[in-house]
Amino acid sequence: MTAEYQVHGSVAVVTLNNPPVNGMGLETRTAAVAGIQRALADDAVKAIVITGAGKAFSGGADIKEFNTPKALAEPSLHTFIATAESSTKPVVAAIHTVCMGGGLELSLGCHYRVAMPGAQIALPEVKLGLLPGAGGTQRLPRVLGLEPALNMIVSGNPVASEKLPALFDEIFPADADLLTSAVAFAEKIADARPLPKVRDRKVDYPNHEAFLQFSRNTVKAMAGPFPAPLECVETVAASVTMKFDDGMKFERERFLHLIQTTESKALRHAFFAERVASKVPDVPADTPVRTIKSAAIIGAGTMGGGIAMNFLNAGIPVKLLETRQEALDKGIATIRKNYENTLKKGKLTQEKLDQRMGLLSSTLSYDDIGQADIVVEAVFEELGVKEAVFRKLDEVMKPGAILATNTSTLDVDKIAAFTKRPQDVIGTHFFSPANVMKLLEIVRGKQTAKEVLATALALSKKLKKTGVVSGVCDGFIGNRMIEQYSRQAGFLLEEGALPEQVDKAAEKFGFAMGPFRMGDLAGNDIGWAIRKRRYVEKPDISYSKTADLLCEMGRYGQKTGAGWYDYKAGDRKAYPNQDVNAMIVKHSADLGITRRKISDEEIVERLVYALVNEGALILEEGIALRASDIDMVYLTGYGFPLYRGGPMFYADTVGLPNVLAAINKYARGHQGGAWKPAPLLQRLAAEGKTFNG
Ligand code: 3HC
Ligand code: NAI
């Protein structure tokens, strides 16, 4: 049963009951429509209340049904709403907690709306690349007025019910019982006729054309590659310029168009990918989690400071530990400066700044950190240094404390083995700048306890991060893949491209930053150090030497004012440098390569398919639990364009046989040995399947 039916005196109550958020899937719609019909057939019933069980009135249409036959099967959402609107007995929507999308549209089809204060009211379809497709674009402007409705529809942001008095016939006091109050309201209006219908109202807005044109221009400039925001404007415009039924038809047509777009599919993929990432098949949802009320951080450098800020922002006290007082002072000063910059931008109050800094303390002694619930190590990336730290942590930390490492390349199992409690050791790989980037790779060691993993996942939510679980391997999910991408970027330079062309092609594809600008930002010396290690440990892997030559020129990137590009003080713009370009051209000549013109298409394919192919290996090895986890890593940690849904989703949209064919082609070209099609990719392509199934 996905909607319940009860009668309270002369009022029938239809309660949507489809946990977790009463998404209006086919079964729910069917049961709710049956409820309304039953109420209409019962002479003892004078009015009908529709409400939602549990933690929502309704989160809207069931997104999981989209692009399946169930979405349009009767009774459709339109039919459900029309049944309520055409009811000969008054229908009251009784709203609480969450009323979004189709849920709000349903309430707009009801004759009356009552609500608890603090309910989140929104038409968030635009965030899924859609527009409200069940009358929202036509009814909301008729209730709120053109401008406020357009703002809500184009932004998709929630507004508290008490801030929308025009939408509600009554907002109950916070301590009221919704059902009792709604039933009393329904009894009060039971005999009122004619029944008020939103569709009968008009949208009055003086000079609406000028306003709509202004809105089109503004929204167009902000929407980037997403078609939905502008479609929202056009459909809302129809609420003024068309008759109600024509506006509804127009809305339907544009909704059905948007639902087929790759952009909308990508956004919906990301929505579910983010939520499923916190689920680990062998770690049930009821796995106990440890309490995290205090944290210690070892190392107050670039990462330690940023990581500390995440805990402070979440209200968790932090003790920073360093080897020298100067390093501590510097780390704390950087944290304060970061907060002060946010304060200057008006995004933080002085009070909050003081509160957060008040939660921060520091020490040079391990004796002071033993009682912390979690300790995150962020010292130099050297196994010997990590070993000393973890042996010490094993001595001083209280039983049950979580010992986390922020290592980006080292073996978490080896680090765990430095302790007598490997079950308590886990990798928490933050991304730089750690106080900004959403991604947190949670590295599960061979012996990491399920409880520790569940705690880290819960903590990632508390820190407002997207936690993605990775197994142990060199580079984990993200950096292991980016290495293949960077290798291709290097080979492209040897063959004929220049950094600017590669970056422009990548940025045109939608990456926040091309590989060379990214290298300059992260520091080219980091990759150099990794390659030097590889030359010894894995001599059979080929790399372009161009990046080494660049580092030999002392051009480490923005931090030295020069990298692949030149940088000017106070300006992050990248200026191409003739010496660097000459070095690249000379290196090709030294290798005996005749440089050729490389198309932007080839650049993008080689960069992105290098990610995809390594992603397929990672998936097959079980390092990532699912393709959508890899997509989340790239969307939240590497600036992969959201509207393309992540590398694995993108490969699915291109078609895996096409991806494989391109990889096979590049395997016959320059440095073709770098391309070994992943067996999983070959298998899925042959079977006509996709990564995201
Ligand atoms: N359909 C199906 N499942 C939904 C859903 C929906 N509309 N909204 C949320 N869910 C699911 C989530 O996938 C998640 O499932 P899980 O527990 O299996 O992972 C669960 O509900 C809880 O979601 P959250 O973790 O996001 O829980 P919160 O309490 O943090 O947030 C929420 C609840 C505010 C409702 C948030 O989930 C949300 O913003 N949902 C999207 C709402 C939305 O976009 N509605 C419009 C739908 S499109 C529509 O209505 C079309 C119409 O115009 C025709
Ligand atoms: P950093 O060099 O900026 O900071 C390291 C800090 O650790 C220094 O302040 C140093 O004084 C301190 N330290 C060194 N040995 C110590 C010890 N034994 N006890 C206490 N403190 C000690 O380095 P960064 O960049 O912050 O990196 C730290 C860790 O984070 C490394 O493992 C690195 O691989 C990882 N990482 C770095 C990223 C980056 O972009 N910088 C991204 C993700 C992970």
- Structure confidence by residue, pLDDT tens digits, 636-668: 999 999 999 999 999 999 999 999 999 999 999
CATH code of 295-470, in short, is 3.40.50.720
User: What is the mean pLDDT of the segment spanning 376-395?
Assistant: 97
* Ligand index nearest the alpha carbon of residue 408: 2
Percent share of the chain, pLDDT over 90? 96
- DSSP, collapsed to helix, strand or coil, labels residue 44 as coil
Would you state the pLDDT for residue 22?
A: 97
CA dist 634 to 288, 316, 479, Å?
30, 28, 10
Cα–Cα distance between 116 and 161 in angstroms, integer?
Answer: 7
323 CB less than 6 Å from ligand 2? yes
What is the distance in A from the centroid of ligand 1 to the CA of 276? 12
Q: List the strands of the sheet with 425-430, edge to edge.
A: 360-363, 318-321, 295-298, 374-377, 402-405, 425-430, 439-443, 466-470
Query: Does the beta carbon of 299 lie inside 6 Å of ligand 1?
Result: no
Question: Distance between CA atoms of 514 and 397, rounded to whole angstroms?
Answer: 43
| pLDDT at residue 683, as a whole number | 98
Is 537 noted as a catalytic residue in this protein?
A: no
Q: Which of 66-70, 288-292, 350-354, 360-364 has the lowest mean pLDDT?
A: 66-70
Whether the per-residue pLDDT at 400 is higher than 80: the answer is yes
Q: Kindly give the interhelix angle for 515-522 and 499-509, rounded to the nearest 10 degrees.
A: 100
Q: Given 105, 274, 322, 483, which residue is catalytic?
A: 105
Note the ligand closest to the C-alpha atom of 153: 1
Q: Which residues of 267-291 are buried (b: 16+ CB within 10 A; e: fewer)?
A: bbbbeebbeebbebeebeeebeebe
Q: State the pLDDT at residue 570.
A: 81
pLDDT confidence tier of residue 121, bands split at 50, 70 and 90: very high
The per-residue pLDDT of the chain, averaged, comes to 97
What's the rounded Cα separation, in Å, for the pair 627 and 632? Answer: 9
CATH number corresponding to 478-687: 1.10.1040.50
Average the pLDDT over 169-182 and give the result.
98
Pairing of strands 360-363, 11-16: unpaired
**pLDDT one-digit tens code per residue, 422-448:** 999 999 999 999 999 999 999 999 999
Catalytic choice (4, 27, 65, 125): 125
Ligand 2 pocket test target in 375, 408, 476, 533 with most atoms within 8 Å of CB: 408
In single-letter form, the type of residue at position 592 comes to: G
Residue 160: phi and psi, rounded to 5, are -70, 140
> How far is residue 84's CA from residue 172's CA, in Å, rounded to a whole number?
23
CA distance 527 to 671: 19
pLDDT class of 52 with cuts at 50, 70, 90:
very high
pLDDT score of 416? 98
* CA–centroid distance, residue 43 to ligand 1 (Å): 37
Other CB atoms within a 10 A radius of the CB of residue 336 amount to 15
Q: Which residues contact 526 (CB under 8 A, 6 or more apart)?
A: none
Task: Name which residue sits closest to atom 17 of ligand 1, judged by CA.
Answer: 20
What is the C-alpha to C-alpha distance for residues 538 and 669, in angstroms, rounded to an integer?
Answer: 22
End-to-end CA distance of the chain: 29
Q: What number is the average pLDDT over the span 322-329?
A: 97
Contact by Cβ (8 Å): 454, 505: no
> What local confidence, expressed as pLDDT, does residue 1 receive?
63
pLDDT digits (tens, 9 = 90+) for 468-520: 999 999 999 999 999 999 999 999 999 999 999 999 999 999 999 999 999 99
Contacts of 395 (CB under 8 A, 6+ apart): 366
Percentages of the chain per state (helix, strand, coil), in multiples of 5: 55, 15, 35
Q: What percent of the chain has pLDDT over 70?
A: 100
**Distance separating alpha carbons of residues 255 and 242, to the nearest angstrom:** 17
Q: Exposure of 252 by Cβ count < 10 A (0-12 exposed, 13-18 middle, 19+ buried)?
A: middle
Q: What's the pLDDT band for 204 if we cut at 50, 70, 90?
A: confident
Whether the CB-CB separation of 322 and 364 falls below 8 Å is answered with yes
Fold for 3-259, please state it.
Answer: 2-enoyl-CoA Hydratase; Chain A, domain 1 (3.90.226)
**Cα 45 from Cα 165, distance rounded (Å):** 29
Q: What is the pLDDT of residues 575-611, one digit of tens each?
A: 999 999 999 999 999 999 999 999 999 999 999 999 9
* pLDDT > 90? residue 572: no
**Domain map (residue ranges) of the chain:** 3-259, 295-470, 478-687
* pLDDT (average), residues 101-125: 98
Asked whether 475 and 409 are in contact (CB, 8 A), the reply is: yes
Residues contacting 690, CB < 8 A, separation 6+:
652, 656, 684
Of the ligands numbered here, which is closest to the C-alpha atom of 98? 1
125 is catalytic: yes
Helices (H) and strands (E) in the chain, counts: 28, 19
Tokens 């020129």 belong to residue: 553
Spatial CB neighbours of 590, under 8 Å, sequence gap ≥ 6: none
Burial class (CB in 10 A: 0-12, 13-18, 19+), 438: middle
